[in-house]
Structures are given as C-alpha cells and as structure tokens.
Structure 1
C-alpha cells in the first residue's frame, strides 16, 4: 500500500560551515534526528538513515546512509518533500498497478464485521517488514512476520494521509475482483485542537486558525474516496479520545474551549460519512475511563445526544472501546491498579453502558473493542490512567467477529502495535509527562513513529503467542 522511494541528501554544514559528521555525536538507531522544534544532531550513527516520518519527527532507521530506495509496499499515489535540519528527505511514490473499476455497493445489515474478511493493510505490514524484522532473528523474526499479516486499522491522522486510504482501497478492490471479500478499516483522527487533555498526539489543526473548516475539508475528502470505492465495505473508528474528553476533562481549559468544535466536527463527520457501504463506531474511552460508575451516566447522555443530533444515522453502528489501551476483554479478578472500580474489563464496561445508552435514546448500540495490546494481564501499569507506552503489555486476541457477546461486533486491532504513544524526551514540543513515568517504556520516540523495543515487548508477551 505505501510504496516509498526515500532519497536522503545529508549535508555537512549548519549555516555555512560546521564540524564534519564524523566528529559529531550523531543520533542512535531509532532516535530522533529532525523535525519541528528539534535542536539535536541531524545525523545518524553508522548503519542508520535519518528518515522523515512527519513534520514533528525524523527518525534514525536501520539502513545505509548513501542515496538509496526503500520499498515499503506495492503502490501509492502521493508525493511529499520536506526539509529537516541538516537533512533533506524526499518521499516519492508511483502507482505500480492499475485499479479496476468497482461495481455495485457493499451494503450491510446486522453485524458489519460478519461476512467479510479484514484486510491486513500494507502500510503496517511494511513497517513490520522494513523496521522491525531487520533487527530480529530466528523465532522472533518469524513471529514478527506473522504479526504483519494481522488485520489492523489505518490511521488517517493528517490530511496528507488521506491518499493512503485511496491506495489501500485500490489494493482491496484488486483483491476482491480476484475473488476475495475484504473490508477496509480506518481511523478518522484529525480534529482541531486534538488530544485536548494531553500533549503527545496534538494534531495539525487549530480552532483559532480555521481548524473547523479545515477539518470539514478533510472529512469531505474521505467521503469522496469512500464514494469512489462504494463497492467495498468500510469500517471506521471516529476520533479517539475526543468525546470521552468532553465527559471527564472539561476542567482542562483546552478541552472546555474545544467542546463546541468537537461536537460540530463530529456531527459533520457522522453525517457526511453516513454512506451505504460504511459502518462507524465513535470512540468511547475504556473501562478505566468512562467505565467508572460516576462517569457512565454522563457518557451515555453525551453519546446518545451525538447520535440523535446526527439524525440516528444507519451507518453509525455503535462505539469503539479500549482504543490504543491495554484492558482485557474479560477477567476473573481485578488487577490492583483498577483501584476498586467494579467495571475492570471491557466486557463489563459495554454491558454497563449499553442499557444507559438505550434509556437516553440510542437503542441497538453495538460495540467493538481494541485488543491489539491487551494480551498480557495484568500489565505493568502502576496506575490505570498511565496510558503511554505501558510496560508489561503484549499483543492480544486476534481480530474476529466471533466474540461470544451479543453486544460486541468484533475484537479488533485499532492501534498498530509498535507505533509509539508519545516521546519520553522532556525537551520535545509534544512531550507528555505520562511518557516519562516509571511504568512507561523508555527511551521512546515521537507519537506514531516506530518504537522497536515496544514492538519486541508486545511480541514477547503476546497471548495467544506468535512464537
């Protein structure tokens, strides 16, 4: 899906002249080497290449430092050129196959995860194959290759990622025309003033700088792609953390100020993406957040109101829980860090929340739950709210519509295991203190970039095991 030809041109000077590279302390493999606000070295140790990841972050990736091409997948349609301090990175891609014309509309009824296969998107597979596996050997390398084949969601966390949606759907259409029956899974995640109660995943849009209008353009773009690929069933998670923050964190000024924009943008997204081939799930936090007894009623009121304000759209199937978190689906006893909450797993959470949603006007709400990092229980968290790169976690239940609970449509992997939650670098612009706590794995790169040590932890602790 994401074919990148990466051309690196490293120069030796800062300003006019500077110390030769061999005399400077270059960044270690997997460390940061560029990005907005970065003031460290813009070179990498021998055997690594400074690779553009996003405007905030360039990372030292294992590879040769000479100009070379690195193929991350089979096709894409985007071109992006950026410049980081001391490094110029050009990411170019061309479509390698023509996409067939689609026919019909992939409508659904009942559980939208039933009757289709979930697509293991090539973007994540390419991360595993080009970033994780080269550092592994033997059984770990073999196990990592299996992870690459697990279906996971693709995150559309910037406007520039939207072409990847078209590319992925083109890949799916090609396979479906050859006899497969795949659905695509995507996370819509680009609200203005995003991540209002934290800092690690602050987004590209600001409310005071026309962010609401820009977000609507982002949604319109996604809608046009979905309409273009109406022959494919498309499963969406809408805006992780956003509405949940409005339930519990309006004491945070940024969240209070963002409330009306969040509601307006979410309403717009849900209405615009209410298409026959789409099933959507609003993010609803997790058991350790909205599952507390005092939070359940206001959560049910808010989500039901969003549903009703949007006109009870058919495509809004329900809620997604535990996104990018670590909670088990079902436990026989409570981990110590759940602090007395009787709702200490995701099954208890959805079964407590659903009746309250119904009493507030959202009847028939269903759920999906992210189990991508929930395989090891209990985790190494010392407190339940410690969300960043938690120690002692493992890959969990594989994606499946066979859940054993009538409220749960599917176990899913929303968070791509190995992509970082946030940096532990206290000098970074997007540093969040949770990422520097003792139960967070460190040192950690920027949010969304590859975190090899974390991937290896997930792989080692996976349950069911990949080894």
Structure 2
C-alpha cells in the first residue's frame, strides 16, 4: 500500500511536469503570435520572458491531478507559464542581487526574450502595510539600484520601477514630517534609479502612475514630472490592480497628453482628468497635444487580474473594503503582448504574479479571516491556491479553449 501511494505521487508529479511543459509551449506560442514593439518606439518583434513558476503552483497542480481535476491543473499550468514579471527586492551590499539579476537577463537573452523586472525595494514601500519592507534608507537603496544595474549590464530589460512609489508617497499615508523629509527622499531615490537604469543601453524604464480610479490626471502628472519621467519611456498603470482595459487606455492617453503639455511648460491644472466629459477631453487634447505619438510619453498596463474588472463591495459592508486586496471572483485578463493596437500603449503585461496573495486583507476588521472570503489569506507574495483557481476559471478571455 505504501508503494502504491508513492506511485500515485510520482505519477502526479510526472503529469504536473507534462502540464507545465504543455503550458509553456502554449504560452510561448501565444507570445510569439502577439509580437510587437518592445517599449522603445521600434517595431521589433519581441517575445516576453517567462520566469520559473512559484514552487507552490507545482504543488497545487500535482494535487489537482491527484484529484482528477485535470482541466483546473492545465489552467494553473498555463497561467504560471505565461510571460510575467520578476519581482526583485533585498539587500544591495553583498552582490547577491547583482548575481540574481544577471542570471535572469542572461536566461532571457538565451531564450531571445525580454524580461520584465519589477523593482520593489524602495524605503517605506506600501506605507508599511501588507507588503511593508524595502531598503532601510536612501543610501542602502541607491547601492541596491547600482547592483541591479550592474546585473543588467548591456542586456535587454523592461523595468517597472517601484510599484506604488509615486502614487503612494510617505506624505499620503501620514508617515512624513511637516517638512516632507521622507517624500523628498522618495523622489531622490526614484531619481537615482531613473538616472542609473536609463543609462544602460538595453534597459527601458517606466514609472508608477497608480491606476485610473486613484489619482486624478492633474494629481499624478506633477509627481511623474518631479520623478524624471522625461528621461524614461513613460509610465505604467494598474500594477496589482483590477481596472478595466478601456478605462486604463483612456486614463493613459490623458496622462500622456497632460505630461507632454506640462513638460512643454503648460500647467497640469488645466488638463482634463479621467472624470471629464470625454468629448470635452478630446477637444482639449486636439488643441494642446501633438498628434505624433513618438513625441509623447508612452505607457504599459498590468492585465494579470483585470479580466472581470474591479470588485465593488457594498460600501457599508466592511469598515475598509480594500477592493485591491485579494478581491473574490476576479479573473485573469488579456495575455501579455507588445502589440496593443495603440501607439501610446507599449504593452499589456502581467506585472503582478497571478496566484500570489496580496496579504491578509482584513478589510478593517480584527481578523484573522478575510471577511469577504471567510478564510485566512496567505501573507503578501505567498501562493494562494483558492485565488489562483478563481483567476483561471474566471479569466476573460478564457485561458483555455
């Protein structure tokens, strides 16, 4: 009997390996078909990089195979073998991050793929919430960025620089003093990263612009300007969030237009925002923005979990709904691609790793359960099997035929 159990486990492991291989083939073929520009304005055909899957995803696949849930297992396999970002953090004083980054970009180059690197180590990140952490101070952070840059070297990389770093400044969450010391430091840290990474010959950098239901255009544009957006390819939207493609595309167009206007000496307060009547906003864009997309900042979006759009809990159901935090019944969004059909929109990416938890998500309650799910969610960044299955089953468009 003991031998039989070992045989079943071995069989599940082999089946999981086959599913992962099949998922990789399908995802890679889809990425090749997508093709497109790599974010640097060119028309080069590009394949996006697929990093190794979370080990707990393989465990889930094996368990699903053992239970005879082969379609779910195939869906998880396809999800984790779709091109997505690599999230990087940690200390910069011992060279380990340099070695890690060098290994990633070298592997991507060998596969003729473009890696997406999400750098997530700025001091005070996430306003000390579920994803708290980061470097201890500015000096440690700049040393870390320098090590990341050494790791990238001359190879190609698309950098999503510090999610929430500009949309969630220390001054936004009551962590700063009256002089704005920590907020000034944040801009110094992002500025150093921009200067260092954009100097690399194969690296494209995008800055944090939150998402379309957060800051107004007039609010986020001055932050992007102060952070040095003119030296980058542009900005990214919706990292780890759920806003719809149409909403993001319109917001991105407005932010891009307002940035061009502001960088040219205009007042961002005169720009239309995402709640302005669209016809009025188009009239303003026609009058103030060049029709040549190559003269405007570009953007990329995170479509990893926005297939069914945002979650709208009843406003009085929870003290703090936290609609961004492991919302139930969401689905994977459109596949990553650098061919979006919009000259300002450089790529749809899976920035957030689908299947990894956003945190405990207590929604203003004492917990320990997430009241929207009735379960205790894993800590931020850990694999969340329940959510992974939801994302696969609810994907729009469908992940599996």
TM-score by length of 1: 0.63
Q: CA deviation at 1:434?
A: 11
Structure 1 residues 250 and 436: CA distance shift in structure 2, 3 A: farther
- Higher strand proportion, which one? 1
Q: Deviations along 1:382-432, whole A, 9 cap, x unmatched?
A: 468521111121111000122122211111100000111112579xxxx99
In structure 1, the residue matched to 2:250 is: 348
SS where residue 219 of structure 1 aligns?
helix
1:457 aligns with 2:373: no
Q: Report the CA distance between 1:279 and its aligned residue.
A: 0.5
- Give the match for residue 191 of structure 1: 122
RMSD: 3.0
- Report if aligned partners of 1:205, 1:214 keep a CA contact under 8 Å in 2: yes
Unaligned runs of 5+ in 2: 10-16, 18-36, 265-294, 316-320
Partner of 1:276: 201
User: Structure 1: any 5+ residue segments left out of the alignment?
Assistant: 1-46, 48-62, 64-70, 72-106, 176-180, 331-344
1:326 equivalenced with 2:242 (yes/no):
yes
Match of 1:117 in 2: 47
Map 1:27-426; keep pairs closer than 5 Å.
Answer: 110-111=40-41, 114-124=44-54, 126-128=55-57, 130-136=58-64, 137-159=69-91, 163-175=99-111, 181-196=112-127, 199-206=129-136, 211-227=137-153, 230=154, 232-246=155-169, 250-255=171-176, 256-274=180-198, 275-290=200-215, 295-307=216-228, 312-313=230-231, 316-330=232-246, 345-361=247-263, 364-377=296-309, 379=311, 381-382=313-314, 386-424=323-361
SS in 1 for 2:125: coil
Contact 2:46 2:338 in 1 (8 A): no
Per-residue Cα deviation, 1:171-218 (whole angstroms, up to 9, x for no partner): 22333xxxxx2111101110111112x510111433xxxx11110111
For 1:372 and 1:419, locate their aligned partners in 2 and report how far apart those are by CA, in whole Å. Answer: 11
| TM-score, structure 2 normalization | 0.72
**What's the CA shift string for 1:287-314, capped at 9, x where partnerless?**
1102xxxx32121122123226xxx43x
Shift of 1:380: 5.3
- Kept in 1, the 8 Å contact 2:53–2:81? The answer is no
Q: Is the 8 A contact 2:53 2:80 kept in 1?
A: no
- Equivalent pair of 2:60/2:385 in contact (CA under 8 Å): yes
For residues 215 and 416 of structure 1, the distance between their equivalents in structure 2, rounded to whole angstroms, comes to: 23
Aligned residues: 321
Given that 2:120 and 2:134 are in contact with CA atoms closer than 8 Å, whether structure 1 keeps it comes out as no
Partner-residue secondary structure (3-state), 1:131: helix
Maintained 8 Å contact 1:238/1:281: yes
Output the CA distance in 1 between the equivalents of 2:105 and 2:40: 23
Indicate conservation of the 8 Å contact 1:422/1:432, yes or no. Answer: no
Where does residue 39 of structure 1 map in the other structure?
Answer: none
Give yes or no for contact 2:370–2:377 (8 Å, CA) kept in 1. Answer: no
Partners in 2 of 1:323 and 1:347 — Cα distance? 14
Other-structure match for 1:3: none
CA contact (8 A) 2:109 2:156 kept: no
8 Å contact 1:108–1:276 — kept in the other structure?
Answer: no
* Structure 1 residues 127 and 272: alpha-carbon distance in aligned structure 2, compared to 1, 3 A threshold: farther
User: For 1:122, what is the secondary structure of its paired residue?
Assistant: coil
2-side partners of 1:382 and 1:161: how far apart?
Answer: 43
SS in 1 for 2:171: coil
- Tell me which residue corresponds to 1:6: none
Higher-helix-fraction structure: 2
Deviation at 1:154, TM superposition (A): 0.3
Partner of 2:166, secondary structure, is helix
2: CA distance, partners of 1:216 / 1:114: 32
1:328 shift after superposition: 1.1
* Contact 1:296–1:353 (8 Å) recurs in 2: yes
Instruction: Tell me the equivalent position of 1:74.
Output: none
Q: Taking structure 1 as reference, are residues 395 and 108 closer, same or farther at Cα in structure 2, changes over 3 Å only?
A: closer
Assess, with a 3 A threshold, how the Cα gap between structure 1 residues 240 and 402 changes in structure 2: closer, same or farther. Answer: same
